[in-house]
Chain A
Amino acid sequence: GAVVSQHPSWVICKSGTSVKIECRSLDFQATTMFWYRQFPKQSLMLMATSNEGSKATYEQGVEKDKFLINHASLTLSTLTVTSAHPEDSSFYICSARSGISYNEQFFGPGTRLTVL
Chain B
Amino acid sequence: QKEVEQNSGPLSVPEGAIASLNCTYSDRGSQSFFWYRQYSGKSPELIMFIYSNGDKEDGRFTAQLNKASQYVSLLIRDSQPSDSATYLCAARGGGSYIPTFGRGTSLIVHP
Contacts and interface: CB of A to CB of B under 8 A. Distances in A.
Interface in A74-116: 91, 93, 97, 102-110, 112
A54 B110 CA distance: 48
A56 B10 CA distance: 36
B42 A104 contact: no
Interface of A: 32, 34, 42-44, 46, 49, 91, 93, 97, 102-110, 112
A39 B104 CA distance: 13
A43 B98 contact: no
Given A44-B88, A46-B98, A104-B49, A110 B104 contact: no
Contact of B43 (A42, A43, A103, A110): A110
Contacts of B17: none
Nearest to B44: A107
Contacts of B101: 43-44, 46
Contacts of B34: 105
Interface of B: 32, 34, 36, 41-46, 49, 51, 88, 97-99, 101-104
Contacts of B41: 91, 112
Contact of A103 (B32, B88, B102): B32
B103 A110 contact: no
Contacts of B88: 43-44
B99 A43 contact: no
A11 B44 CA distance: 20
Contacts of A43: 88, 101-104
Contacts of A105: 34, 46, 99
B102 A109 contact: no
A91 B43 CA distance: 9
A107 B98 contact: no
B43 A93 contact: yes
A107 B103 contact: no
A110 B49 contact: no
A109 B36 CA distance: 14
Please give me the 5 A-B residue pairs with the lowest Cβ-Cβ distance, nearest first: A43-B103, A110-B43, A107-B43, A93-B43, A44-B101
Contacts of B51: 103
Contact of A42 (B44, B49, B98, B103): B103
